[in-house]
Amino acid sequence: MWEKIKDFSSGFFVTGEPMIYGADVAIVLVSLAIVYVLTRYKKWGWLWREWLTTVDHKKIGIMYIIAALLMLFRGGVDALLMRTQLALPNQHFLDSNHYNEIFTTHGTIMILFMAMPLMFGLFNIAVPLQIGARDVAYPFLNAVSFWMFFFGALLFNLSFVIGGSPNAGWLSYPPLSEIPYSSGPGQNFYVWGINISGIGSTATGINFLVTILKMRAPGMKLMKMPLFTWSVLASCILIIFTFPVFTATLAMLYIDRFLGGHFFTMTGAGNPMMYINLIWMWGHPEVYIVVLPAFGIFSEVVATFSKKKIFGYKSMVFSLILISVISYFTWAHHFFTMGAGADVNTFFAIATMAIAIPTGVKIFNWLFTMYKGRIEFSQPMLWTIGFIVCFVIGGATGVMLSIAPADYQYHNSYFLIAHFHNTLIGGVVFAYLAGLIYWWPKMFGFKLNDRLGKWAFWFWNIGFYVCFLPQYALGFMGMTRRLYTYGWDRGWAPLNFVSTIGAFLMGIGFIFQAVQIIYSIKHGEKDTTGDPWNGRTLEWSIPSPAPHYNFAVVPYAPEQDAWWEMKKKMQDPDYKKEKVELEPIHMPKNTGIPFIMSFFWFIAGFGFTFEWVWMIVVGLIGVAATMFARSFQYDDDYYIPVEEIKETESAMGRVV
């Protein structure tokens, strides 16, 4: 009996690595601490009522952001582990297998469990407020989206202590990811962690598309909406039209693994190249899914902190749409070297170059928004300027990569790694951090400390260049990506060493941000007006933090920069505030079903990962039962009485 348990455990739990044992201990201790704190302060009920069952987009947004920042920490630690191993040649800090698992989880986590949820968090925080809406179109589905992400990410993250992480790269190319070469549960964790979370992502795409198209405040025409909202609209269309491809493709990989299928195997006439095509048909639009909202954030920040209207609004909208459309025609640039022939390679090279055109136009529009403005170097503005410098370099190297024959030399080298980190960190991460700081007061009612934030910015900014500029050079020196070690013979050591220093500088930047958040909770400057930045869009017209119904009175907003225009009117000496009749506000009820259903998906996913059929059945029956319960749930809304609205508003210093 004891033997059986030992045997099972040694395969089930990851053994033999001191770092993993340390992680095991940390996980148990932290979990116990959380349980202790919740019990001691009698907060279980509060947790369930206020957070686990919420359908309030503002709270859902906060939960997304907390989860994403935790994932940023994990993905960042992965990065530091890798850079430590690569600082010098022939090191034994991480063996090959461990290193391979780490670069795989680093990529998967950063893109799918850090960038996407951080982005969805900002969607939730800002979009309904920007369009003058009281909620998203489908609040229940919104909660489902979050919990599916949460449990999918949880499943994926368990892999490093239970069963073993995937180790075939963040896109799991077959045949390497097929059973003959990856026989453990690692690849299954990959498929199910991502697919469960992916259902949530697709649902968010649908949710925000309908919200933006159907729930804008009266008077707000499409061509008058804030540019962040436009960018979210474009991103959602991309999500809807590409995530299903990803879901189906990973499911096919799982069918190969679980049922002995031959979609992408070397035997049975499978075709691995089909996987590569399908996965990049998703993969390329995916990077635009995350970068378009980044561009949207910059449009808001640049206009606000230059105290000037955004330059070329129509052009900006047009370029968003153009980028979205062209992004579907560029996927093969990820495998120019797979031998598709001159016709195919030339087409995709030119389409890829073409995408740089609307992107470049946006940069010029931001510059000319700042031109003849009055620029304030707030934290968000610093991140924006950092972005322009960083992203232009990344975009330029992207154009260099798009030149197919040149790519035959760059492909899969450190030149490529430097390019995509340039655009992902310089573009996406910088933007989301700027957005976080910008909308933080609206979420929590206080600002993040400026001084600590600026230290964080400089460490990130400088650390980035120290880490990644040497990697362009390493690409020219013939260094391939995904090497767990290298020798002294090619002269790669000095640049790798410098690159590692840069990575740690960025890590210090992150620590500054963690300290900044903790410090600001206690000492952050309170936002008493709801409009700490002298903003231009509707979210700044309501108190901070926003009341649960958002707007006591739905605004009439027919102009671009609606709040700015309203403020101008209010400064008019003849301005008379209109008397408004308050009405009861319709709100959705909290419900535990999203949490419970996602938990059953987690059970099923765990079963699928370890191929334990009984667990799969239990999990899926649970999913079906909760869906049924939801279908039979007719009492899912209520009205906030006018008295309560009046009380809430006056408690926040507003007279209605």
Partner 1 sequence: MMSAITSQHDHHVEELESLKVTGFWIFLVTDCLIFGTLFATYAVLVNHIANGPSGKEIFELSGVTWETFILLTSSFTSGLAMLAMHKGNKKQIINWLIVTILLGMSFVGLEVREFAQMVDEGATISTSAFLTAFFTLVGTHGLHVSLGILWMIGLIIQLFQRGLNVKTKRKLTVIGLYWHFLDVVWIFIFTIVYLMGVM
Partner 2 sequence: MIQKWLKWLKVLPAAIFAAMTLAGCENYVVLQPKGPVAKTEYDLIVFSAIVCLGIILVVFALLFYIIWRYRDKPDNKAPYQPEWDDNKTIEIIWWAIPIVICMILGYSTAKTTYALAKGTGFHDSDKQPVTIQATSLDWKWLFTYPDDKVASVNEVVIPAGVPVKFELTTDAPMNSFWVPSLGGQIYTMPGMSMGLYLKADKPGVYYGSGANFSGEGFAHMKFKVIAKPENEYKQWVAQVKKSSPALTEKGYETLSKPGLTDKAFYSSYPNGLFEKIVKKNGGDFYKMHHMDTYKTHPDFGKDSMKDENGGSDMNMDMSH
- Per CB under 8 A, the segment of 79-87, 269-277, 308-316, 532-540 that binds partner 1 is 269-277
> 22 or 180, CB closer to partner 2?
180
Task: Name the residue nearer to partner 1 (CB basis): 259 or 570.
Answer: 259
- Told to check if 108 binds partner 2 by CB under 8 A, we report no
Using CB under 8 A as the binding rule, whether residue 341 contacts partner 1 is answered as no
Q: What distance lies between CA 441 and its chain's CA centroid?
A: 20
Q: Which residue has the tokens 């449009």?
A: 299
CB of 284 to partner 2, least distance (A): 18
**Min CB(107)–partner 2 separation in Å:** 12
**Three-state secondary structure of 331-346:** HHHHHHHHCCCHHHHH
Binding-site residue total for partner 2 (CB under 8 A)?
Answer: 101
Q: Which residues, at least 6 apart from 174, have a Cβ–Cβ distance to it below 8 Å?
A: 253, 256, 264, 265, 270, 272, 275
What region does 598 belong to: left with phi over 0, alpha with psi -120 to 50, or beta?
A: alpha
62 binds, among partner 2, partner 1, none (CB under 5 to 8 A by kind): none
* Per-residue tokens: 541: 């017209």
- Rg over alpha carbons for the chain, rounded to the nearest Å, is 25
Q: How far is the CB of 171 from partner 2 (least distance, A)?
A: 10
**Nearest one of 539, 375, 546, 522 to 452, comparing CA atoms:** 522
Return the SS3 of 630: helix
- The answer to whether 210 contacts partner 1 (rule: CB under 8 A) is yes
Does position 243 interact with partner 1 (CB under 8 A)? The reply is yes
From partner 2, partner 1, none, which one binds at residue 259 (CB under 5 to 8 Å depending on kind)?
partner 1
| Given 492, 504, 540, 563, the residue binding partner 2 (CB under 8 A) | 492
Alpha helices in 159-226 (DSSP H): 186-214
Q: Which of residues 246-265 bind partner 1 (CB under 8 A)?
A: 247-249, 252, 255-256, 259-263, 265
With 0-12 CB in 10 A as exposed, 13-18 as middle and 19+ as buried, what is 214? Answer: exposed
Nearer of residues 80 and 469 to partner 2, judged by Cβ: 469
Q: Which of partner 2, partner 1, none does residue 361 bind (CB under 5 to 8 Å by kind)?
A: partner 2
Closest CA to 205 of 155, 251, 138, 134: 138
Strand ranges inside 121-211, DSSP E: none
Residue 269 near partner 1 by CB under 8 A: yes
Query: Taking a C-beta distance cutoff of 8 angstroms, is the pair 469, 421 a contact?
Result: no
Within 219-238, the residues that bind partner 1 by CB under 8 A are none
Number of residues engaging partner 1 in binding (CB under 8 A):
43
Is residue 70 within a helix (H) or strand (E), and if so which, with residue range? helix 57-86
What gap in Å lies between CA 548 and CA 58, rounded to an integer?
A: 8
Residue closer to partner 2 (CB basis): 173 or 512: 173
Per rule CB under 8 A, is residue 172 in the interface with partner 1? no
Beta bridge partners of 232: none
Question: Measured from the CB atom, is 71 or 355 closer to partner 2?
Answer: 355
Gap between the Cα atoms of 594 and 52, Å rounded: 9
What is the maximum span of the chain, computed from C-alpha positions, in angstroms?
A: 87
Task: Kindly indicate which of the ranges 208-216, 418-426, 470-478, 523-531 contains the residues binding partner 1, using the contact rule CB under 8 A.
Answer: 208-216
Pick what 244 binds: partner 1, partner 2, none; C-beta below 5 to 8 Å, kind-dependent.
partner 1
CA distance 269 to 521: 59
| Chain length of the chain | 656
Binding positions for partner 1, 574-633, rule CB under 8 A: 583-584, 586, 624, 628, 631-632
* 483 touches partner 2 (CB under 8 A): yes
Question: Does 184 participate in binding partner 2 (rule CB under 8 A)?
Answer: no
Question: What binding mask, one character per residue, do residues 364-393 give for partner 2 by CB under 8 A, x or -?
Answer: x--xxxxxxxxxxx-------x--xx--xx
Among the listed ranges 243-251, 357-365, 444-452, 585-593, the one in contact with partner 2 (CB under 8 A) is: 357-365
Residues that bind partner 1 (CB under 8 A): 137-138, 141, 202, 206-207, 209-210, 214, 240-245, 247-249, 252, 255-256, 259-263, 265, 267-271, 274, 278, 583-584, 586, 624, 628, 631-632, 634, 639
